Every structure is written in C-alpha cells, then in structure tokens.
C-alpha cells in the first residue's frame, strides 16, 4: 500500500513540476509569442540549482532562487531578438537556444559533468512544497490574466494592428511574457533537480520542448488552468498506457491527435467555454422581459436577423 502510494506520489510530483513548465509555455503563447525556449530556461534553472547545491554547498532554496533568476535573465535577453521576429521564426530561434544550452550542458564537462549529469542533489522539493509553490504561481498568473496585462496580451495575440491602435506596446508585453516564461521554467528546472536527486542533459532536450508545448496546447492556451490540465493529462497518460508496452507511444500519440482535432482550443478552454455559454444562456433567459423591452425600443434586435 505504501509502495503504491509512493508510485503515485512520484507521478503527482512530476505533474506539479511539469505544470510549471506548461505555465511557462502558456504565458508566452497567450501573449502571441511562439517561443519554445522553456526547455532551455528549465535546463539553466536545473543546472544552476544542481551545481550550486552540490559543488558550492549552497542551501538548495538559495540555489533554486539563483536558477530562477538566471532563467529569467537569459529569457529577458532572448526577448530582444525575438521581438523582431514573428511566428514560426520565433519558434526556430528558441529551438536553436534549446540546442545551444543542451550542447553546453553536454560538453562543458568541468562544470556540468557532461553526459553523466550531476548526482546527489538534495531532495528538498517534497510534495508539500511543490503543492504550495504551484498554488502560489497559479494564483499569481490567474490574477495577472484577469486585469489589464492579460487583456493586452489577448489583443496582441489576436491582432497586433488593433493592439497598437489601442496604445499597447507589443514589445513591452511580449517582454513581460518572455521574462515570466523564463522565471517559471527556471523554477521548474530547479525543482526538478531537487526532486529527482539527479539531472542530465537529455532531460532538457527536444522531448521536454515538445512535452511543454503539447501540455499548453492540449490543456488550453488562454487560461492558466489549461497548463495544469495539460500537465496532468500528459504526465498520467504514459502511466495508464503501460499495458500497451512497446506500443505505448503509438497509442498515446494517436489519442493526442484525436484530442487536438476535436478540441482544438484545448481541454480546459473548451470546458470553460461551454460553462460560460451555459451561464450566459441562463442569464439571458432570466432577463427575458428586459431583453424583449430593449428589442422593442430600438434597433438592437434588427441586426440579429
């Protein structure tokens, strides 16, 4: 029984850590920046944490904080060239960054120990801490999305011409999104290092890039809950599909395709959308006498024909 719980606990931890990575991806997608650099910022956060807490003997919390800041600094620098690019070119540029970071991790053996990775990292990122941290970040991003910044990001993603015509600086908001993305991915990397005792370059390569992107898209790109749902689904699926043994990835890939085709807005966004529409319908039905009065008095109803 305890062993069973332990198994589930590690999956649960992984969901929480990946949800931070997915939020890092969500925040740039929401602002209309097609950055896939989260894997690189996670590597920077992870390696900084690992090196400082093992070799330099820093307190792990301080080491993680340094990893977070460094992830944010690198993403802030990256935001400058990215603001001159759009769409798929941003994706290619950030993909190159991931390659560069992973290559450095592989070859700078004196510092990163190369392909062997770094072992013996203190496991301080326990489930309790992870729950607290993720809850804090979700609350922060939820509030951020509700006010002016979230709205500006939505307009920028939808139509940059409209955004600038309303007085919004595209570069400013995309820079905010990139810095948040770097901080969150750095946090995910640092916590990953302090949760799994060990990190190596292959943890942060193309697979992590694709996973982060898939989580954000699958969960939904316009609310922070999408990242949570995406991380939960994509982390538990491989566990559920163990029965398919060698064909696990095939089944998982096929299922993801089905979800993307039938729920293009992602799971959370689709559910929220349905709930919203139902609430509005109920509201309108409740207001029927008033709505009818307005239709009678003016041109309001005529355009709905």
Site for another protein, rule CB under 8 A: 140, 143-144, 146-149, 151-152, 154-155, 158-159, 161-162, 164-169, 176, 222, 265, 273, 276-277, 279-280, 283-284, 287, 290-291, 294, 297-300, 302-305
User: 158 or 239: whose CB is closer to another protein?
Assistant: 158
Taking the complex as a whole, the smallest distance from the CB of residue 303 to another protein amounts, in Å, to 3
Determine the Cα–Cα distance for residues 79 and 64; give it in Å rounded to an integer.
Answer: 22
Name residue 118's beta-bridge partners: 199
User: 162 or 210: whose CB is closer to another protein?
Assistant: 162
Taking the complex as a whole, the smallest distance from the CB of residue 26 to another protein amounts, in Å, to 15
User: 63 or 152: whose CB is closer to another protein?
Assistant: 152
Taking the complex as a whole, the smallest distance from the CB of residue 176 to another protein amounts, in Å, to 7
Taking the complex as a whole, the smallest distance from the CB of residue 136 to another protein amounts, in Å, to 11
Determine the Cα–Cα distance for residues 58 and 190; give it in Å rounded to an integer.
Answer: 13
Taking the complex as a whole, the smallest distance from the CB of residue 163 to another protein amounts, in Å, to 8
User: 39 or 179: whose CB is closer to another protein?
Assistant: 179
**Cα angle for residues 101, 177, 264 (degrees, 5° grid):** 95
User: What six digits make up the tokens of 58?
Assistant: 């820093």
User: 144 or 259: whose CB is closer to another protein?
Assistant: 144
User: What six digits make up the tokens of 27?
Assistant: 């925040």
Alpha-helical (H) ranges within 83-169 are 88-107, 109-112, 127-146, 148-158, 160-165
Q: How many CA atoms lie within 13 A of 164 on its CB side?
A: 5
Give the chain's largest Cα–Cα span.
79
Taking the complex as a whole, the smallest distance from the CB of residue 211 to another protein amounts, in Å, to 26
Nearest to 69 by CA among 94, 99, 44: 44
C-beta of residue 188 within 8 angstroms of C-beta of residue 48: no
User: 27 or 208: whose CB is closer to another protein?
Assistant: 27
- Residue 199 phi/psi, 5° resolution? -135, 150
């Amino acid at each position: 029984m305890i062993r069973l719980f332990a198994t589930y606990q590690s999956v649960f931890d992984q969901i929480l850590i990946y949800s931070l990575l997915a939020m890092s991806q969500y925040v740039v997608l929401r602002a209309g920046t097609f950055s896939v650099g989260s894997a690189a910022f996670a590597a920077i956060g992870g390696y900084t944490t690992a090196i400082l807490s093992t070799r330099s003997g820093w307190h792990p919390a301080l080491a993680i904080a340094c990893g977070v800041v460094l992830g944010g600094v690198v993403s802030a620098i990256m935001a400058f060239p990215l603001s001159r690019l759009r769409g798929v070119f941003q994706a290619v540029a950030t993909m190159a960054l991931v390659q560069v970071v992973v290559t450095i991790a592989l070859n700078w053996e004196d510092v990163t120990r190369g392909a062997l990775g770094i072992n013996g990292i203190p496991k301080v990122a326990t489930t309790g801490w992870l729950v607290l941290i993720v809850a804090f970040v979700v609350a922060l991003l939820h509030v951020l999305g509700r006010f002016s910044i979230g709205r500006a990001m939505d307009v920028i993603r939808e139509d940059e011409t409209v955004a600038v015509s309303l007085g919004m600086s595209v570069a400013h908001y995309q820079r905010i999104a990139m810095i948040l993305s770097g901080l969150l991915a750095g946090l995910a990397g640092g916590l990953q290092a302090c949760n799994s005792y060990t990190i190596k370059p292959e943890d942060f390569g193309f697979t992590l890039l694709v996973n982060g992107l898939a989580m954000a898209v699958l969960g939904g790109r316009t609310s922070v809950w999408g990242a949570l749902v995406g991380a939960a689904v994509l982390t538990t699926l491989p566990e559920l599909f163990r029965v398919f043994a060698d064909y696990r990835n095939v089944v998982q890939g096929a299922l993801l395709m089905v979800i993307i085709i039938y729920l293009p807005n992602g799971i959370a966004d689709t559910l929220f959308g349905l709930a919203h529409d139902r609430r509005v319908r109920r509201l309108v039905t409740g207001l029927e006498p008033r709505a009818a009065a307005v239709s009678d008095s003016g041109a309001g109803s005529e355009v709905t024909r």
